[in-house]
Amino acid sequence: MGSIRLRRKPNVWELRLYLGRDENGKVVHKYATYVGGKREAERELARLSFELESKPDFPRHDEKLAEPTEQIQWGPETTFNDAIAAWRENGWQDLSPKTIRDYEGFYRRHIEGTIGTKAISTIGVFEVEGYFRSLAKEGLGLSGIRHVRGMLHKSARLAGKWSGGIIPNPVTLADLPGNARKSSPVRAPSIGEVQAIIQTVEQSGDIRMATLIKVIAATGMRRGEAAALRWSDISFADSRLTIDEAAIAALGSIVIKPPKTKASIRVVALDQWTLASLEDLRAEQQALAQSMGFSLVDEGFVFSYSPDGSIPPHPDSISHAFKKMVKASGVDSAIHLHSLRHFQATLIDPLSSERQKQARLGWSTTHMARHYTDPITEEDVKIASEVGRQLYG
């Protein structure tokens, strides 16, 4: 995991990076100190995480991508694997941690052992389109095939540039298969379904997960925004919370960064029932921290499983836990964590103006409100109260 915390004022930060486990199974971390603003410290953590994970000896459960040879001979023998390995060394540093993680997954599963071994110059458009159809036949959806196509296209284009125009790009004219499976539209769950999921989680005794689901259902927060929520972001006196960060899963770490867009930075009202759940969770977290000799800091993450709250929960682990609870509750398996955001949007649609709906959900435009940092208004307070009443009343 990767995390930062304020060690002493002004602006002295401790950066912690996850290195893996030693021969005894003990977790090992690397620490660094950074002096500067919080945003700059987060960017430094992201840079260190990428630099660390790029080392050949970095411990990870995933297989590593192929490393480029010291001297790649650009020419007729250059394969897609060669081009992608070179692109990884000279270009991936500019990508977000999540994009890098996604690229590695697509490469390892769908490219490395198949078309990746082929020399780019020997592949034609016909063969590339046949490869795409084979992916569709194996069950990869249209969105996934688009990701694979994008990786192949970019790597072949770079190979052409780095070879001085010797290597062609056979992906440019290749069409995607028309029969590829398209993703099913996300369905907003009903009030009863959300209540059933919450009840199941509460019965399991996991107060963190139960509160997290309540917060997402009551506010429409994104998964990463909830994972990055800190105690300092919650105003218990004013019944509101600030959303200004998101947790992004990277290779072997979690990076905390600003949300997707400027519009995603927002303040939203909370209903009394969700606020009470957060108060109960904070009391339990404080008791746990004290029992283990720690202090629960204000900058700690609300849904952290570490005693002092210094490490955010992994976004993927949140989704996996939610999926298990959906199954245990008997609710339609098509409901996933992002469905709660659609639940919020559907529920408040008749209650709010387009502008307020856009502000509450952090959309860039009012058009997004139909398709899918603002002050707290009286309208938003009424929205929060009505959502809470319907959820818990």
How far apart are the C-alpha atoms of 201 and 213, rounded to whole Å? 9
Are 179 and 202 members of one domain?
no
Are 346 and 257 members of one domain?
yes
- Residue 153 CA: distances (Å) to CA of 57, 172, 265: 29, 7, 34
Give the SS3 label for residue 120.
Answer: helix
Are 163 and 206 members of one domain?
no
Tell me, what's the pLDDT at 393?
Answer: 72
pLDDT tens digit sequence for 9-59 = 667 777 777 666 555 555 567 777 777 777 777 777 777 776 665 555 554
- With DSSP H G I counted as helix, E B as strand and the rest as coil, what are the percentages for the chain, rounded to 5? 50, 15, 35
- Which of 158 and 56 is assigned the larger pLDDT? 158
* Sign of the Cα pseudo-torsion (258, 260, 263, 269, in order): negative
Model's pTM, two decimal places?
Answer: 0.62
Tell me, what's the pLDDT at 127?
Answer: 94
Are 107 and 155 members of one domain?
yes
CB 208, CB 325: distance < 8 Å: no
How far apart are the C-alpha atoms of 75 and 77, rounded to whole Å? 6
* Sign of the Cα pseudo-torsion (236, 315, 22, 12, in order): negative
Are 200 and 343 members of one domain?
yes
Bridge partners (DSSP) of residue 168 are: none
CB 76, CB 119: distance < 8 Å: yes
At 373, is the pLDDT very low, low, confident or very high (cuts 50, 70, 90)? very low
Range of the domain at 304: 191-392
Q: Which of 183, 206, 222 is the last residue of a domain?
A: 183
Tell me, what's the pLDDT at 65?
Answer: 41
Tell me, what's the pLDDT at 159?
Answer: 93
Q: What is the CB neighbour count within 10 angstroms for residue 391?
A: 19
Tell me, what's the pLDDT at 61?
Answer: 39
How far apart are the C-alpha atoms of 118 and 382, rounded to whole Å? 60
Are 347 and 217 members of one domain?
yes
Give the SS3 label for residue 253.
Answer: strand
Are 19 and 91 members of one domain?
no
At 329, is the pLDDT very low, low, confident or very high (cuts 50, 70, 90)? very high
Q: What is the CB neighbour count within 10 angstroms for residue 38?
A: 15
Q: Does the pLDDT value for residue 260 go beyond 50?
A: yes
Bridge partners (DSSP) of residue 241 are: 234, 268
Are 94 and 52 members of one domain?
no
At 331, is the pLDDT very low, low, confident or very high (cuts 50, 70, 90)? very high
Tell me, what's the pLDDT at 364?
Answer: 64
Q: What is the CA radius of gyration of the chain?
A: 23
Are 56 and 201 members of one domain?
no
Cα-based angle 193, 194, 196 (whole degrees, multiple of 5): 65
Pairing state of beta strands 2-8 and 12-21? antiparallel
* Sign of the Cα pseudo-torsion (337, 338, 341, 346, in order): negative
The domain total for the chain is 3
Q: What burial letters (b/e) apply to 202-231, b meaning 16+ CB within 10 Å? A: beeeebbbbbbbbbbbbbbbbbbbbbbbbb
Are 216 and 341 members of one domain?
yes
Are 113 and 196 members of one domain?
no
Tell me, what's the pLDDT at 369?
Answer: 44
Are 56 and 71 members of one domain?
no
Nearest to 268 by CA among 364, 380, 193, 148: 380
pLDDT tens digit sequence for 61-114 = 333 444 444 567 788 899 999 999 999 888 888 787 778 888 888 999 999 999
Residue by residue, DSSP assigns 49-86 as HHHHHTSTT---SSPPPPPPPSS---STT-BHHHHHHH
Q: Which of 134, 157, 183 is the last residue of a domain?
A: 183
CATH number of the domain residue 311 falls in? 1.10.443.10
Q: Which of 46, 61, 76 is the last residue of a domain?
A: 61
